[in-house]
Structure 1
Amino acid sequence: MIIVMKAGAGKKDRDEVVKRIKELGYKPHIIHGTTRDVIGAIGDERAKLVLQSLENMHGVESVVPILQPYKLASSEVKHEPSQVKVGDSVVIGGSRVVVMAGPCSVESEEQIIESARLVKEAGATMLRGGAFKPRTSPYSFQGLEEEGLKMLAKARDLTGLPFVTEVINPETVDLVADYADMLQIGARNSQNFALLKKVGQCGKPILLKRGMAMTIQEFLMSAEYIMSEGNQGVVLCERGIRTFETATRNTLDLSAIPVLKLKTHLPVVIDPSHGTGNYHYVAPMCYAAVAAGADGLIVEVHPDPERASSDGPQSLKPKKFAAMMQKLRLFAEADGRSL
């Protein structure tokens, strides 16, 4: 159920409602709107009619059932789009298209600092790079772990770019959160519910990637796991799903953008690098994603992709990335936005 507060209802009224929700055995989640607050009451669906009594409380406008199984992520709870702040200055979900760029893996201090400098010069607003890498083969490069996190932090200090990096198990969430501005949940972990709960408690914004065989409802239920732990700073990332097609690494589902924009208030980011697996296709998919309304992009850029430890074939060289960014501005401006 969602409890819609009246416009102008004060903190005292809201606190009384929150207290009563807890007394009834439900977990309250306050969502601040532009004109009024909404309180989600999450708990046992079988006894939810008891919450109707809250309509009689001072400051309450209405009590409305949430029809979707994902409660906090649903646009029924919050009609206006959410904005997620990363670091001190980056906002995902506003009028600016946020571009996160950098190598798949952190390989050395020189490599990640050079990458950060080059993507910033081209107009990127965030740095991406993996310190922990979940790989299909146990013999593939697994990442530099904490040393990689330290290198990412140094690159941030030198360039001012906040960074997003992947966390792959609950045991390292606190470690990664100590360094990173934003934590990424990769496709392979998108239904690792223990991990989702843990990042929901970490206090840092989360970039949640869609699983390679996930329906959109399953995707949003994973977001719900994070949000139900108190973390409302979730950004959804479409990175392609597995189909019968072999011409691309995955099938990048750009139709997910308008679907998610209708069903949820959370920002949506597109990963054309993993979505296609080939650098030739990355720029066209970036243009299409922005035209379809994506709030951001996460793009793999490597100064020497031929020698990359992972995902070299889908990584753009810095010059190609810079050229793409120049053209991308035109698509953003056509939609009344900026880079």
Structure 2
Amino acid sequence: MVIVMNIDATVEEIAAVNRRLEEMDFKNQVIHGVKKIVIGAVGDALNNNALKELAQMPGVEKIVPIMKPFKLVSREAQAESSVVKVGDVRIGGQELVVVAGPCAVENREQIMAAALAAKNAGANMIRGGAFKPRTSPYSFQGLEKEGLQMLKEASRAVNLPTVTEVIDEHSLNLSLNYVDMLQIGARNMQNFRLLKAVGQTDKPVLLKRGMSATIEEWLMAAEYIMSEGNQQVILCERGIRTFETYTRNTLDLSAIPVVKRLSHLPVIVDPSHGTGDRQLVAPMSLAAIAAGADGLILEMHPQPSKAVSDGAQSLTPEGFNNLMRQLTILAPAVQRSIPKIQGGLEYV
């Protein structure tokens, strides 16, 4: 349930309601919305007398039961859309956010070149994998700590925040010192131990949809993170597995408006993994923004033909620059804005 506090409720009144809920064995979170302060409370249903007691406490406006299995994630818990800050970047606001970079950090020269290309084209953030969960145990598994150090160096060089995937608690603990946002990949969407662990950090979390996950399962994974206290969750649609063979996955763009209706969390789209085909990335990026996505996460490599992973779906710097130009044309049509193309930085 959600306890909606009066707009002029004091800190003491909010704390008192929180304490009473804890005495009733509820797990609570105070959610500061734009117009309202609410307390999300998860636990067993209360009888009428207990509900009446809470409703009559000073500062309480009303109590709203939440029938959906996902509580804190739902629009019932927070009517207005959330905005998640990653450094100076705001995800979920009026400005579209574009994250770009290679699937994997391979060496210093490669990640620096990718970061500069991303910055010059107008990207807000850079991505780069240091821990790579691969289908084959013989495939490149990532540079781990060395890769994180290179990613941080690139971040400082171009002054853009970073995101990287964590695959277990060891990689999580290492990454906390190097990146600005943590990514939970499709294979780990229902790794509940890992979800709880990132939920106990103060880092924003990018949660990718599992390859065969329903929308409800995806939102319940976000609920795991938020129930541990971390409200900085961004959802990422990255395609689901179907019988189609002409694309790597089937990019479910219908999920964007559905999730926007069900949840207050920001939603971004990964058309690189969603299609697996460089030629499809730009049209699906434009379609995702038209469908209401708050941003994109794209694979871009200085030399895709030499990439150790996902080269076929990685944009070239030129291709990424062209896409950013297309987005500047589309954004105003959907009442959004896009960062200005930077240009001018060179690799040193």
> Under a length normalisation based on structure 1, what TM-score does the superposition of the two structures give?
0.98
Deviation at 1:44, TM superposition (A): 2.7
Corresponding position: 1:98 with 2:97: yes
> Counterpart of 1:280?
279
Task: Give distance in 2, aligned partners of 1:238 and 1:50.
Answer: 40
CA contact (8 A) 1:167 1:184 kept: yes
Q: Residue 320 of structure 2: SS of its match in structure 1?
A: helix
Q: Residue 94 of structure 1: SS of its match in structure 2?
A: coil
> Counterpart of 1:9?
9
1:225-268 C-alpha deviation (Å, 9 max, x unpaired):
00000000000000000001111000000001100100000000
Q: Indicate how the Cα distance of structure 1 residues 49 and 319 shifts in structure 2: closer, same or farther if over 3 A, else same.
A: farther
Deviation at 1:47, TM superposition (A): 6.6
1:143-176 C-alpha deviation (Å, 9 max, x unpaired):
0000000000000010001000000002321211
1:45-77 C-alpha deviation (Å, 9 max, x unpaired):
477983442001011011111011000000000
1:251-288 C-alpha deviation (Å, 9 max, x unpaired):
00000110010000000000000000000000000100
Q: Indicate how the Cα distance of structure 1 residues 164 and 47 shifts in structure 2: closer, same or farther if over 3 A, else same.
A: farther
> Counterpart of 1:176?
175
Q: For structure 1, which runs of at least 5 residues remain unmatched after alignment?
A: none
CA contact (8 A) 2:104 2:309 kept: yes
List aligned pairs for 1:107-118, cutoff 5 A.
Answer: 107-118=106-117
> Counterpart of 2:59?
59
Q: Residue 176 of structure 2: SS of its match in structure 1?
A: helix
List aligned pairs for 1:1-339, cutoff 5 A.
Answer: 1-45=1-45, 50-87=50-87, 89-339=88-338
CA contact (8 A) 1:52 1:63 kept: no
> Counterpart of 2:341?
none
Task: Give distance in 1, aligned partners of 2:240 and 2:50.
Answer: 41
What amino acid does structure 2 have at the position aligned with 1:327?
A: Q
> Under a length normalisation based on structure 2, what TM-score does the superposition of the two structures give?
0.95
What amino acid does structure 2 have at the position aligned with 1:38?
A: V
Q: Indicate how the Cα distance of structure 1 residues 60 and 187 shifts in structure 2: closer, same or farther if over 3 A, else same.
A: same
Q: Indicate how the Cα distance of structure 1 residues 114 and 6 shifts in structure 2: closer, same or farther if over 3 A, else same.
A: same
CA contact (8 A) 1:173 1:202 kept: no
Q: Residue 178 of structure 1: SS of its match in structure 2?
A: coil
Q: What is the alpha-carbon root mean square deviation over aligned residues?
A: 1.1
Q: Residue 179 of structure 1: SS of its match in structure 2?
A: coil
Q: Give me the identity figure in percent.
A: 60
CA contact (8 A) 1:8 1:36 kept: no
CA contact (8 A) 2:131 2:171 kept: no
1:187-217 C-alpha deviation (Å, 9 max, x unpaired):
0000000000000011100000000000000
CA contact (8 A) 1:237 1:270 kept: yes
CA contact (8 A) 1:9 1:36 kept: no
CA contact (8 A) 1:212 1:240 kept: yes
